[in-house]
Amino acid sequence: MTDKNLTAILYKQGDIRLEEKEIPEPGPGQVQLCMQDVGICGSDVHYWQHGAIGDFIVKAPMVLGHEAAGVVSKLGEGVTSLKVGDRVAIEPGVPCRCCSYCKKGRYNLCLDMKFCATPPIDGNLARYYVHDADFCFKLPDHVSTEEGALLEPLSVGVHACNRGGITLGSKVLICGAGPIGLVNLLTAKACGAAQVCITDLDEKRLEMAKAMGADFPLKVTSKDPKEMAGKIEECFGEKPEVTIECSGAPPSVKTAIFATRSGGCVVLVGMGPAEVSLPIIDAAVREVDIRGIFRYVNCYPTALNMIASGRVNVKPLITHRFNLEQTMDAFNTTLRGEGIKVMIKCGRQ
């Protein structure tokens, strides 16, 4: 193997292969990237284990990876915003730029979105990758490519906190202390939240949450949503104004509604079953808004500034590192639920 462009490809459910592909050439408005760091997301593991997420079904071989950063290695025609050697974070979704959603600034809802590692679009877990230049964000010298890769999950936190209206003095509940719950914790604190309670079944994750600034790490000890809502209220001394539900577990979604203050907001981030029974009348009569999020929109610049300014430190999220050749070890580590964020180093070692 000459290893021109070692690439991690999901062929079908349960079948990831490392194969050599040709190095792609950038088209007009694109850049070729020598990939540096790619984080493993829960969606990558879900496609590997189940072959689908909702209506997105793996029907043909697909390159994995979308939490990524690289170094510009070649410019396509017309690119002036970047130069060879620039280190960049890659926003993985490229919309059509022409539809009503795009023109109104909500390009995350674009029906023609091309999002890395979402069937049938290839991701970027490879030595080399090509991406539109205007969705590549130059990293300051003091921001690492690992931090650049973490702009992707951090942008989810930025979008969720924006949707929830978190501001100075907010009291916030976060359900789930996995990677997405933790970036929401960091973002809520950066937005000025006065107190944050975060719940989880795993004590080690709650310990991590406490170290990262959670005021009330709370272990889920009951399947009764009302009982858990009561414990959450005891932590704050009142109900929180905003709840960000990151687990997707149906009992947790119910807890989120019961726990949130009347007139407050529940933001649904976690992806659980397609249909869930909810205490909808409780939400309706108390005017608790229920809002969804889909990825993020116009959040990368904010997330980058949060890291570059030192306001947010995402480095503790990275608990495991593997080389590209060790991709299967990295995926198995994530599948076992070890650590928080597993990072794959894509450069030749």
CATH number for 35: 3.90.180.10
The reported pLDDT for the residue numbered 258 is 98
User: What value does the mean pLDDT of the chain take?
Assistant: 97
The pTM of this model reads 0.96
pLDDT tens digits for range 206-215:
999 999 999 9
The reported pLDDT for the residue numbered 282 is 98
Percent of the chain with pLDDT over 90: 96
Tokens of 53: 């997420």
Residues 265 and 322 grouped into a single domain: no
The reported pLDDT for the residue numbered 243 is 98
Residues 199 and 264 grouped into a single domain: yes
What does the radius of gyration of the chain's CA atoms come to, in whole angstroms? 20
Per-residue pLDDT at 2 exceeds 90: no
Classify residue 58: in a domain, yes or no.
yes
Classify residue 161: in a domain, yes or no.
yes
The pLDDT-based confidence of 348 (bands split at 50, 70, 90) is: confident
HSE at residue 278, side-chain half, CA atoms within 13 A, is 19
Q: How many domains, in total, are found in the chain?
A: 2
Per-residue pLDDT at 172 exceeds 80: yes
Number of neighbouring beta carbons within 10 Å of residue 55: 7
Domain, as residue range, for 202: 156-292
Residues 101 and 214 grouped into a single domain: no
Tokens of 227: 């009982």
Q: Which residues of 290-316 are buried (b: 16+ CB within 10 A; e: fewer)?
A: beebebbbebbebbbebbeeeebebee
Q: Which residues of 191-227 are buried (b: 16+ CB within 10 A; e: fewer)?
A: bebebbbbbbeeeebbebbeebbbbbbbebeeeebee
The reported pLDDT for the residue numbered 169 is 98
Residues 30 and 132 grouped into a single domain: yes
Classify residue 197: in a domain, yes or no.
yes
Per-residue pLDDT at 316 exceeds 50: yes
Classify residue 281: in a domain, yes or no.
yes
For residue 261, give the DSSP letter. Answer: P
pLDDT tens digits for range 106-119:
999 999 999 999 99
* For residues 298-308, average pLDDT: 98
Return the CATH number at 180.
Answer: 3.40.50.720
One DSSP character per residue, 107-157 reads GGG-TT-EETTBTTB----BSEEEEEGGGEEEPPTTS-HHHHHTHHHHHHH
Residues 52 and 160 grouped into a single domain: no
Residues 167 and 50 grouped into a single domain: no
Classify residue 300: in a domain, yes or no.
no
Classify residue 298: in a domain, yes or no.
no
Residues 164 and 233 grouped into a single domain: yes
The pLDDT-based confidence of 54 (bands split at 50, 70, 90) is: confident
Per-residue pLDDT at 43 exceeds 70: yes
CA dist 249 and 270 (Å) reads: 8
The pLDDT-based confidence of 69 (bands split at 50, 70, 90) is: very high
Residues 283 and 181 grouped into a single domain: yes
Classify residue 336: in a domain, yes or no.
yes
Contact (Cβ atoms closer than 8 angstroms) between residue 22 and residue 60: no
Residues 11 and 143 grouped into a single domain: yes
The pLDDT-based confidence of 180 (bands split at 50, 70, 90) is: very high
Per-residue pLDDT at 1 exceeds 80: no
Residues 15 and 135 grouped into a single domain: yes
Classify residue 194: in a domain, yes or no.
yes
pLDDT tens digits for range 220-271:
999 999 999 999 999 999 999 999 999 999 999 999 999 999 999 999 999 9
